[in-house]
Structure 1
């Protein structure tokens, strides 16, 4: 892996928004999906996400069919399955269950840098109600890491501060305050798991550091726009596709 540093995961805006919308569409059910991307030096680049199921997540036949179709499609684009995302059924369930671990184990066999993303259900529940503007995942790094990003100059450094390992920033667009919105970026959300030397799934990072970031700094602002227009209603997963093959699991119209 490149320079041998600590492995980081970078997720594209569309991949991130799609998985959140999938979870919101089926907020009373457990949902899951896979990440597509590639590894470059010490960064796993998550380019896209594919929603899988909202019913019977552990059934092997539909899972095998979906993974074969996904692998064949994305291999032609030079991408492979690099991880898995999961949201539990109950809002108070914060454990990484056996279904998630087993699917993660399968992906790990083919991609040893694979990670599992466990979404925060309580935060997901609050998003459509407008009660919580905190992002589901962090979309920036500490100040020293912001310098490495192309959009560093868009961040107002005067409002970057650290408070109990929580970072605050004010995003600017063309020199103006973007929506006048402060975003709280909590490194504990969501939970990112990787396999340790004992082949057990453990929380990534020894200090909850910047292991998962969104590629585009404004991803959470865009997400709120999609939520306000109820775009989650348009998300198609493999359950939908297997019930009606005219429904496209690639979701080509979602971001148009």
Structure 2
């Protein structure tokens, strides 16, 4: 089974997105650098791009977002290889109930794709537990990954970011479509997360 790793940036942005909109489901995509030398034994998600918090499956908006993210990722030498969702009902943690349209699209373009469920209940994060459940998408089904790495640094930085209310600075595609001056790549937020290292 593949070892799945998350950098501080990817982990924090998923949690911050879910925290900013606790009253609704949120989703986004994960970008990774993959090495052909490891035979798909390891994947590291280096960034998360928040998508939506209003309507997760509105097809025209998804298409626009994925085209822009794909162009951005290829310039950075990254691949869209994961999809994350934080359901508004935190008890809903079944991979079978995920919003499959986007994850299917990612799987059709990336043979080694993943789905992440984010659980941002205060108890899980405040106690230093990782707030993720991960599955690899293969042959039309989700297989949960047990070999999951989120460093203590990532969890501690995420706690600091939450305490500093950095979620207010996060811009998802819904925000960007409302005001195109808002930066969906979250350059400023990325720098703020890096400053916590």
TM-score range, shorter chain: 0.7 to 0.9
Offset, 1:77? 1.3
TM-score w.r.t. length of structure 1: 0.68
Instruction: Give the number of the structure whose residues are more often helix, by fraction.
Output: 2
Mapped partners of 1:39, 1:135: distance in 2: 26
Is the 1:38–1:82 Cα contact (8 Å) retained in structure 2? no
Cα-Cα RMSD: 1.9
Larger Rg: 1
Mapped partners of 1:102, 1:22: distance in 2: 20
Offset, 1:38? 2.2
Is the 1:57–1:99 Cα contact (8 Å) retained in structure 2? no
Tell me what 1:26 maps to: 21
Q: How does 1:39-188 map to 2 (within 5 A)?
A: 39-40=34-35, 41=38, 42-96=41-95, 100-120=99-119, 124-126=120-122, 132-137=126-131
The DSSP-based 3-state class of the residue aligned with 1:52 is strand
Aligned residues: 187
Is the 2:125–2:159 Cα contact (8 Å) retained in structure 1? no
TM-score w.r.t. length of structure 2: 0.88
Q: Unpaired runs of 5+ in structure 2?
A: 193-197
Higher relative contact order (CA 8 A, sep 6+): 2
Mapped partners of 2:64, 2:179: distance in 1: 15
Is the 1:33–1:50 Cα contact (8 Å) retained in structure 2? yes
Mapped partners of 2:152, 2:103: distance in 1: 28
Offset, 1:98? 5.0
Is the 2:27–2:52 Cα contact (8 Å) retained in structure 1? yes
Residues 164-216 of structure 1: per-residue CA shift (max 9 Å, x gap): xxxxxxxxxxxxxxxxxxxxxxxxxx2211124x4212322xxx3xx2213x5
Structure 1 residues 235 and 115, CA gap change in structure 2 (3 angstroms): same
Offset, 1:101? 2.4
